[in-house]
Amino acid sequence: MTIGSVLDRASPDLATVAAEVPPRISFRNVGLRYFSPRGETEALRGIDLDIRPGEFVAIVGQSGCGKSTLLSLLAGLVPPGSGTVAIDGVPVTGPGRRVGFMLQQDTLFEWRTILENTLLGPELQGGDMAAARRRAEALLTRYGLGEFMHHKPGQLSGGMRQRAALARTMCLEPDILLLDEPFSALDFQTRLMLADEIADIIRREGKTAILVTHDIPEAISMADRVVVLSRRPGRIRAIHDIAFPSAGGTRPRAMAVRETPEFPHLFNLVWEELEVHAE
């Protein structure tokens, strides 16, 4: 993200316009309990959240507070026990083409080339494979993998593999991207660079994204808003609008944000809200 866009988001006129745009995603009083032979677990309670088209929202919360469950609800993998989850006002009743997932493990098939991996979704869905191939090649080129499309995943670094996984997700042209700790298996440097690159790609392509992460700096540096969930059952504890007008310069945003005077304040606030010390 450019600093200009950070400042733009802070402008009251744009904020008013944004408030009038109908939400792409809405959670209305959503609750969910899991039932298993070991008993009942209340994972989420009373979740109310609207996410605008093109917005990037990060969800943070302690382990087991229901972060992944929120994504599963949106992907239509589990139904809510109470309340409604809707995309563009239409309740989610099952998996749909508008939602793409990116996970911690890239789940690339080792025996297929990067291009073949990228084409997996269109192959399963059926349709115009020539168009899908053109789309896949363009995506891989845009993500810096043009020279590697005929390589196997084993020949790529961890960061390149995650970019390939993103290309595979994007090839299905989802409007909404769900990112479930997609960087946690990577080393720190790769993670910083890739977080920046991926946030940029998602914004350029106008996708609405939800990132689940345990990493507060990652959430703060990638997202437009950070949602903090309470301990289980997960409820919304706080929502922070992120704007770092002082994160200037040419350094990657992930680094620049960490060096601003606002950063430690926000970090500490979110850390307190996570109630880690109350264990």
d(C-alpha 225, C-alpha 17), whole Å: 17
Span interacting with ligand ATP, options 9-17, 65-73, 120-128, 153-161, rule CB under 6 A = 65-73
Q: Is 69 in the site for ligand ATP (CB under 6 A)?
A: yes
Q: Is 68 in the site for ligand ATP (CB under 6 A)?
A: yes
Q: Is 66 in the site for ligand ATP (CB under 6 A)?
A: yes
> Whole-number minimum distance, CB 182 to ligand ATP, in Å?
13
> Whole-number minimum distance, CB 32 to ligand ATP, in Å?
8
Q: Is 43 in the site for ligand ATP (CB under 6 A)?
A: yes
d(C-alpha 241, C-alpha 227), whole Å: 9
d(C-alpha 149, C-alpha 158), whole Å: 15
> Whole-number minimum distance, CB 49 to ligand ATP, in Å?
15
Identify which of residues 34 and 271 has a Cβ nearer to ligand ATP in the complex: 34
Span interacting with ligand ATP, options 36-44, 147-155, 187-195, 238-246, rule CB under 6 A = 36-44
Identify which of residues 36 and 250 has a Cβ nearer to ligand ATP in the complex: 36
**15 SS3 class:** helix
Tell me the pairing of strands 39-51 and 25-36.
antiparallel
Q: Show the tokens assigned to 86.
A: 């809707």
Q: Is the dihedral of CA 3, 229, 194, 257 positive or negative?
A: positive
Identify which of residues 62 and 118 has a Cβ nearer to ligand ATP in the complex: 62
Contact present, 183 and 162 (Cβ < 8 Å): yes
d(C-alpha 271, C-alpha 263), whole Å: 12
Start-to-end CA span in the chain (Å) = 36
Identify which of residues 32 and 139 has a Cβ nearer to ligand ATP in the complex: 32
d(C-alpha 202, C-alpha 4), whole Å: 17
Q: Is 64 in the site for ligand ATP (CB under 6 A)?
A: yes
Contact present, 64 and 274 (Cβ < 8 Å): no
In this structure, the chain runs to a length of: 279
Q: Is 219 in the site for ligand ATP (CB under 6 A)?
A: no
Identify which of residues 261 and 277 has a Cβ nearer to ligand ATP in the complex: 277
Span interacting with ligand ATP, options 46-54, 66-74, 103-111, 240-248, rule CB under 6 A = 66-74
Binding site for ligand ATP (CB under 6 A): 34, 36, 41, 43, 61, 63-69, 232
